[in-house]
Amino acid sequence: MYRCLLFLAMIFGFPQGIVLAADYERALLAMDVNDYKAATEILLPLAKQGDSVAAYDLSLAFVKLNVAPEQAADWLKRASRAGLVNAYNRLRSDSIRPAVDSHAIIIVSPEDWIREQEPSYYTLQLASSKSRNRIEKYYSQNKLQGKAGYYRNRRKDQDWYALVYGTYVTQQAARSAADNLPENLRQWSPWIRRMKDIQRIMQPLDMP
């Protein structure tokens, strides 16, 4: 059965967020009752606006409808190119057909996003600051939900917060991604880090 959990932080930082959250909830509720046609009607406008999570769920809905395999593949590729890890992992499988227990994407918290990544992969650290608010604002304004995460660690008895983006199998792939980041994600000179190093030092985020 589909789960209709939404990460509430997706509504922070941009005015249309509450509307987007409501749209996602309606789409996921439709998928819960196998009404994939209704789900596609809700998700398609969001996906066309560049929302990678909507593109991923739209691809899954098309697969379930079994009427538009080309569109399903196209939206999955778009979500993967946007950096959505779930989409990338599905593209690596032998078939676009989802497993029996596949479900619409659940937007997890930024620190859980980091914990779920393959430790041997690489990521791009976009920013680091003593201000959690600054990192959260950067995360929300750039609409990085599902593509990035942030974490807390301690340096010289002070809390620091860092934002990381994307996962890449090799350093070369990460370097290529860094060179092709949009300008708004390159303002603090991203650098390459290994996931396992971040997972080792990260500490639970305090309640905001």
Q: Is residue 100 part of a domain?
A: no
Q: pLDDT tier at 94 (50, 70, 90 boundaries)? A: very low
Query: Is residue 48 in some structural domain?
Result: yes
pLDDT of residue 197: 93
CB 187 within 8 A of CB 142: no
- Domain containing 128 — which CATH number? 3.30.70.1070
Q: Average pLDDT of 123-139?
A: 92
Q: Are 39 and 120 contained in the same domain?
A: no
Q: Is it the case that residue 107 has pLDDT exceeding 70?
A: no
The pLDDT value recorded for residue 12 is 33
Say yes or no: 15 and 87 in one domain: yes
Q: Among 27, 58, 92, give the residue marking a domain's end.
A: 92
Model confidence at 113: pLDDT above 60:
yes
- State mean pLDDT over 122-135: 93
* Same-domain check for residues 81 and 164: no
**Average confidence (pLDDT) over 92-102:** 46
Is 105 among the domain residues? no
Interacting residues of 189 by C-beta distance below 8 A, sequence separation 6+:
none
- CB 45 within 8 Å of CB 26: no
The residue-averaged pLDDT of 177-197 equals 89
Domain match, 196 and 116 both: yes
- Cα–Cα distances in angstroms (integers) from residue 89 to residues 79, 101, 141, 154, 169, in the given order: 11, 15, 26, 32, 12
Same domain, 143 and 86: no
pLDDT tens column, 133-154: 999 999 988 888 878 999 999 8
Is residue 118 domain-shared with residue 197, that is, in the same domain? Answer: yes
Task: Based on the fold, state whether residues 75 and 31 are members of the same structural domain.
Answer: yes
Q: How many CB atoms lie within 10 A of CB 66?
A: 10
Q: Which residue range is the domain that position 151 belongs to?
A: 110-201
Residues 134 and 62 placed together within one structural domain of the fold:
no
Most confident of 2-6, 16-20, 41-45: 41-45
Whole-angstrom distance, CA of residue 196 vs CA of residue 8: 27
User: Would you say residue 97 lies in a domain?
Assistant: no
- Whether this model's pTM surpasses 0.75: no
Question: How far is residue 2's CA from residue 183's CA, in Å, rounded to a whole number?
Answer: 37
Q: What is the tally of structural domains in the chain?
A: 2
Q: Do 66 and 137 have their domain in common? A: no
Q: Are residues 31 and 70 in the same domain?
A: yes
Share of the chain above pLDDT 90, in %: 22
All residues at 6 or more sequence positions from 25 whose CB lies less than 8 Å from its CB, including other chains: 4, 6
Q: What is the pLDDT of residue 30?
A: 85
Q: Using the predicted structure, report yes or no on whether residue 11 has a pLDDT greater than 80.
A: no
Which of 38, 64, 92 is a domain's end point? 92
Residues 60 and 131 in one domain: no
* Per-residue confidence (pLDDT) for residue 38, from 0 to 100: 92
pLDDT tens, residue by residue, 51-74:
878 888 888 888 888 877 888 888
71 vs 93, residue with greater confidence: 71
Same domain, 139 and 189: yes
Looking at the DSSP assignment, which residues form a beta bridge with residue 100? none
